Amino acid sequence: MPADLSPIDKAKFAAAKCASLLVEDGMKVGLGTGSTAAWMVRCLGERVREEGLRITGVPTSTRTADLARQLGIEIVSLDEAKWLDLTIDGADEFDPELNLIKGGGGAHLLEKIVATASDRMVVIADAAKEVAQLGAFPLPVEVVPFGWQTTRTIIEETLISMDVLGRTTSLRQNGSQPFVTDEGNYILDLHLNRIGNPRQLAVTLNQIAGVVETGLFIDICDMVVIGGAEGQVELRDIAAGTVRQERIDFPDTVNIFTDL
C-alpha cells in the first residue's frame, strides 16, 4: 500500500477506482471536477492505456479536460456527445436521499448540465461527505458579474423566509480578486448551516435574476460510492433500494499512483 497517501486520499481513490470499473467499452462518460474526480480520471486513463478501453469523455471543467487529455482519454464537448451513458463526479455533501451540495471547486454549473444529460450519475466520496441534512458546507451559487451585489442582496432577503439556520453570504475569492468560473461568472457562498427544504431552496434561488445555478443537486444522483481508507467501498442506490459492500485492492507500489 502506498505510504505517502493520506487516509482521505486512499478513501477517495477507493471510491474513484470502484466507480471507474462501472465504465464499459464504448461509453460516453461525463467527467467530474475536484480531487476525487481527478482520481477517477486517472483510473480511467489507466484502463484506456492498459486495457484498450474505448471511451469518449465530456469534461466538466478546463482542469478536468487538461487532465483527461494528458492521460490519453478522448474528450468531446457535450454538444458533440449529445447524451451520456454515465457521469461520475465528486460532491461536497450528500444526504440520505442522495441530494447533493456541489460546487466547492466552482464547477457546479457545467457539472449539473453534464449530469442531467446522463442516463446515470454516480457520486464518489469519502465518508466525511455524508450528512443527515445538507447545509454545513457553504452552498455555492453561481451569479452573473453584472449587478452581483444587487443579486447578493436579493438572495439575502430571500433567505429570511427560507427554512435555513444561517443567512450570511460571501463572494468567493481567488487571492485578492473574485473567483471567476469557467463560464466567466462569480460564486456566492451561502453559509446556511442547515437546509430544511433543499428542493424549495433550489427552486427559489433559481428564480432570482442574476442567479445562474446553485450547487444543490436534487434528484440527480443515482448512486453514491463511499470509499474508505482501507479500500472498503459501499455502493448506495436509493432508487433501487440496494446497498452493496466491496473491497478495492490498492496498487502495491507507490509508483502506480504517480504513474496513473
Ligand X SMILES: O=C(CO)[C@H](O)[C@H](O)COP(=O)(O)O
Per the annotation, binding residues for substrate are 33-36, 89-92, 102-105, 129
Minimum distance, C-beta of residue 238 to ligand X, in the bound complex (Å): 19
Instruction: For ligand X, give the closer residue by CB, 22 or 154.
Output: 22
Strand order across the 232-237 sheet: 74-75, 56-59, 28-31, 84-89, 118-126, 223-227, 232-237, 242-247
Instruction: For ligand X, give the closer residue by CB, 19 or 149.
Output: 19
Size of the site for ligand X (CB under 6 A): 18
| Rg (the chain; Cα; Å) | 18
Neighbours of 235 (CB within 10 A): 19
Euclidean distance between CA atoms 165 and 21, whole angstroms: 40
Catalytic pick from 111, 130, 183, 213?
A: 111
Give the β-pairing of 74-75 and 56-59: parallel
Instruction: For ligand X, give the closer residue by CB, 106 or 135.
Output: 106
Of 215, 154, 163, give the one whose Cα is nearest residue 187.
215
Instruction: Find the binder of ligand X among 46, 92, 142, 189 (CB under 6 A).
Output: 92
Instruction: Find the binder of ligand X among 89, 189, 213, 222 (CB under 6 A).
Output: 89
Q: Which of residues 98-127 bind ligand X (CB under 6 A)?
A: 102-108, 111
Minimum distance, C-beta of residue 215 to ligand X, in the bound complex (Å): 7
Q: Which residue has the cell 452581483?
A: 148
For residue 91, state whether it binds ligand X (rule: CB under 6 A): yes
Please give, one letter per residue, the 3-state secondary structure of 190-225: EECCCECCHHHHHHHHHCCCCEEEECEECCCCCEEE
Minimum distance, C-beta of residue 111 to ligand X, in the bound complex (Å): 6
213 included as an active-site residue: no
Quick note: the x/- pattern for ligand X over 25-54, rule CB under 6 A, is -------xxxxxx-----------------
Q: Which residues bind ligand X (CB under 6 A)?
A: 32-37, 89-92, 102-108, 111
